[in-house]
Amino acid sequence: MSRHVLVPVDGSDHGFAGLEYSFASVPDASITALHVVDPRHDHEGVAGGPESLSERAEKHGERLLERAADRADERGHHGEFRTALRKGTPHTEILAVAAGDEDDPIADVDHVVLGSHGESPITRPFLGRVSEAVVRRSPVTTTVVPETTDAIRDRELPGDVLVPLDGSEQAEAALEYALIEFPEATHTGFHALSLPFDRPRTDVEGTYLERVLAAHEHRAEEVLESATAIADDHGTTLETATDEAKPAAAIVAYAEANDYDQIVMGSHGRSLAARLITGSVAEQVVRRSSRTVTLVRGRNPE
């Protein structure tokens, strides 16, 4: 389970939506709200003002962190709540904290929760530059929240959780994470067949493509049976579903069509990428999904 969650806040509504998600989804975890002062951006500059750019940026950051602490009090957060102010390039500082340093006062972070974009609004499906860098390079489980603060508050989190499965160790780690972290949620294991053709099933019968279809369906049965066994071990019922489309498109469309509250998936799948680089399917889902997406890295201890 998540024990120490890092939530970067930059003053945008999406940044505070990350806090709202954390309060609702991991109520017992320690939370650190982090603001990175980037002196290159002057939020409240007045020509000829008495304060330097750096001083104004620090005061702006301190006010944001006070707002974050007030929200924790308002929400009655059960776990420890701390704030931290750093100077530098935002994504660099966030990743440095996530990577961990035993001498760092912000130690043992095992989960980062952040908005999909910040103060510089970027039209979806593209992430903001900071979010993009963190998603690609974070060494710990990362949750991206694309919704507004009000939308997150309106959800009964953790709610209905969709877990994409492809038979990989990372996908099974994501399933275990969802089962352990959200025991009260409804869980659905989802497998995209990713058929190498686009034809009606009636046109496939009697051709070599029928064998291809049968092989993909057999693979889906194996993947979902394995996932069901994992859920049984946790004393949880797992619903299952499949789709014939390519994985990223199928996952996003299925979550939208069936109104899932969030998606929990492995950071990369069967074709293992370098551990610090997100797999292409996971990255596409984060970019396209209008629902919160958690990318699980490694197996999570109970």
pLDDT score for 201: 60
pLDDT score for 55: 83
pLDDT score for 184: 93
The model's pLDDT over 233-259, given as tens digits with 9 standing for 90+, comes to 999 999 999 998 889 999 999 999 999
The order of strands in the sheet holding 186-192 is 81-87, 30-37, 4-8, 111-115, 141-145, 292-296, 262-266, 160-164, 186-192, 238-243
pLDDT score for 130: 85
pLDDT score for 103: 66
What are the structural domains of the chain? 4-154 (3.40.50.620), 160-296 (3.40.50.620)
pLDDT score for 203: 56
Residue type for position 106: I
pLDDT score for 274: 39
* pTM, entire model: 0.87
Show the low-confidence residues of the chain (pLDDT under 70).
Answer: 39-51, 101-103, 105, 117-127, 196-210, 269-279, 298-302
Interatomic CA distance for residues 145 and 162, integer angstroms: 15
pLDDT score for 208: 61
Dihedral sign from CA coordinates of 253, 258, 259, 264: negative
Lookup result for tokens 């935002």: 90
